[in-house]
Structure 1
Amino acid sequence: MTSQIPFGPESTAAEVLAGVDLTGKSAIVTGASSGIGAETARVLARAGAAVTLAVRDTDAGQEVATRIAADGAARRPSVRPLDLSEPASVATFVANWHGPLDILVANAGVMATPGARNSQGWELQFATNHLGHFQLAHGLHDKGVFAPGARIVVVSSVGHVNGEVLFDDPHFERTPYDPWAAYSQSKTANVLFAVEAAKRWPEIAVNALNPGRIWSTGLSRHMDTPPQSFDPSGATGVTEKTIEQGASTSVLLATSPLVDGVTGTYFEDNQPAVPFTPGTRRGVAQHALDPDKAARLWTLSRDLLAASGHPLA
């Protein structure tokens, strides 16, 4: 069925969602106070979904909710606080959620941050990009709130091709900290989560994606200039996208009947990704699809959360 998807790198989220009615559906979008998260929330709400913006900055979230409501949404999105880097915040969000839930878009993320840790001593990018979303999705699943046919969408990055999960030192306690190595680890973890969750939760479609290169989002706030791999000319196989285009693959995986039954897959440009080839900035690396590593990461993540005082069922 995926071979018939008529969308590509230039498609926008609104184009992907055209003709899809989400009336009666509920959705959570993390990191929806700016960038592709805000755009994802906007088009979901315009299609009729009851959208919750799960954000650290609730004032910014309320501003986005107001704009979405003024843009013709069927209903104003709700805003709830969520700091994915802190297990206590995630646990509170889960405890206060009452289903059903049809769509979870794990969109929030940080990139190339200076060396920093959360209250547990966890490396910030791994804690935010992977562990927080793992705890959120797992906790909601444990509560049984996911509706039949629910979908989980995990926003990863082509940056995953640059590094694997450091299973023996995920928090860079012995390894010299490198912001890009930490980012790559967290984005590989995003894909591995989708692989294992698809296996463990067959009643839910769980997929990961690369949104593409969008320089104009808050994700790049820790950089003064684009990295050398950023090439708007497309010589490395990647061209710059607008926010509207960057949100399209998330929306496709969250809503489209064109991907019914697809799970445990990594997408980019609204298509299943091809295998990564060195020298390009496209495709999915084999280490991110390895089922043994996916299972090992699941165990590591559960163990870390249990040690933090937030065990999962």
Structure 2
Amino acid sequence: MPQITTPFDRHSTAAEVISGLDLTRRRAIVTGASSGIGVETARALASAGAEVTLAVRSLEAGQRVAADIIAVTGNPRVRVAQLNLSDPASVAAFVSAWKGPLHLLVNNAGIMATPELHTPQGWELQFATNHLGHFALATGLHRALAAAGGARVVSLSSAGHTRSPVVFEDVQFRRRPYDPFLAYGQSKTANVLFAVEASRRWAEDGVTANAVMPGAVRTEGVANLKLTAEQIAHAQATRSSAPETFWKTPAQGAATSVLVATSALLDGVGGRYFEDGQEAQPHVPGTMSGVAAYALDPELAGRLWEASEALLA
């Protein structure tokens, strides 16, 4: 299929991308919708009339955001539900409580460059939260997505995926030194591979999944990174990036997610990676743009899916 191009770019906002669309018959879930990009993604979808569920760790924070979105958009169909992606029981409870079809699932929540931490199951925390939790959520909601007809899943990745493929031999950092940015990069590669394999497996159900790079946004999570001077120096020395970063507002950061979730240009399109409102070109070393070949590899995508099922079993 030809590469997708759109009229939008890195300056575009979520409101501009969704302008003129009517989503009154659509139901959406946005994870991590109590701050940053997630708030703006949910706000844009609600502004177009969608029923939006904010899947959040803190119900109190989610309720504050929901009240604001309702007040700003005039759309009363904004719900709040608790979801802790690093806790399989929380994901299972969220899934079991969902009733009816689901048209849009935006896997937005994520953590970045945390200290070395593992869940009670022994999973490295960034991989568990960014990938496994969303994998369990999406597969658990598969029937709801299939029932919607033409449902879409948006998987938020990052340019950080160019730091590391999924290291299947040591996903949990049991045998290699822990590096918070390699762990983050591995989890973000997993987000792209999920979209590739979900689109393949769920094609007959009319469900497509794509990955997006929101861009550099000074979200609360970025501001609160707890890094040592040594870790910061290592990150700067090893990053694959241009010397300057274009910082987006949260509304600009949400634009590509909203585009991929709603644009008619992506009807039936899945398994791709988008950034700055466009389908990405192959990654060029020394830049912070493009998609690494290993992140779109169908064999690796299938391997990750099977490995993820085994871990969650």
User: TM exceeds 0.5?
Assistant: yes
Partner of residue 236 from structure 2, selected from 207, 224, 228:
228
Contact 1:164 1:288 (8 Å CA) reproduced: yes
**2:185 paired with 1:178:** no
Offset, 1:12:
0.3
- In structure 1, runs of 5+ residues without a counterpart are 307-313
Structure 1 residues 146 and 161: alpha-carbon distance in aligned structure 2, compared to 1, 3 A threshold: farther
Partner of 2:247: helix, strand, or coil?
coil
Q: Which residue of 2 aligns with 1:209?
A: 212
**Match of 1:127?**
128
Helix, strand or coil: the match of 1:36?
Answer: helix
Equivalent pairs counted in the alignment come to: 304
Q: Which runs of 5+ in 2 are unaligned?
A: none
Task: Give runs of aligned pairs for residues 77-226 of structure 1, distance below 5 A.
Answer: 77-142=78-143, 146-202=147-203, 203-223=206-226
Q: Secondary structure at the match of 1:125?
A: helix
Matched, 1:239 2:240: no
CA contact 1:130–1:190 (8 Å) conserved in 2: yes
Give 3-state SS (helix, strand or coil) of 1:74's partner.
coil
2:175 maps to a residue whose letter is R
SS at structure 2 position matched to 1:153: strand
Q: CA shift at 1:53, angstroms? A: 0.3
Letter in 2 for 1:40: T
Kindly state the Cα deviation for residue 146 of structure 1 after the two structures are TM-superposed: 4.3
Find the aligned partners of 2:243 and 2:224 in 1 and give their Cα distance: 23
Evaluate the alpha carbon distance shift between residue 296 and residue 49 of structure 1 in structure 2; reply closer, same or farther with a 3 A threshold: same
Change (3 A) 1:293 1:24: same
2:275 matched residue in structure 1 = 268
- In structure 2, C-alpha distance between the alignment counterparts of 1:255 and 1:10, rounded to whole Å: 18
Normalising by structure 2, we get a TM-score of 0.92
Q: Which has the higher helix share?
A: 2
- RMSD between aligned alpha carbons? 2.0
- Is the alpha carbon distance of 1:258 and 1:2 closer, same or farther for their aligned partners in structure 2, counting shifts above 3 Å? farther
1:10 aligned residue = 11
Whole-Å separation in 2 of the counterparts to 1:3 and 1:261: 12
Q: Please name the residue that 1:42 is paired with.
A: 43
Percentage identity across aligned positions?
57
SS at match of 2:76: coil
Structure 2 CA distance for aligned equivalents of residues 4 and 193 of structure 1:
22
8 Å contact 1:37–1:247 — kept in the other structure? Answer: yes
Partner of 2:55: 54
- Per-residue CA deviations over 1:105-127 (Å, capped at 9, x if unaligned) read 00000000011111211110000
Q: 1:3 to 1:223 in 2, by over 3 A?
A: same
Alpha-carbon separation, structure 2, partners of 1:148 and 1:76: 21
For residues 33-52 of structure 1, the C-alpha deviation after alignment (integer angstroms, 9 at most, x for no partner) is 00000110011111100000
Letter in 1 for 2:115: P
CA distance in 1, matches of 2:263, 2:170: 38
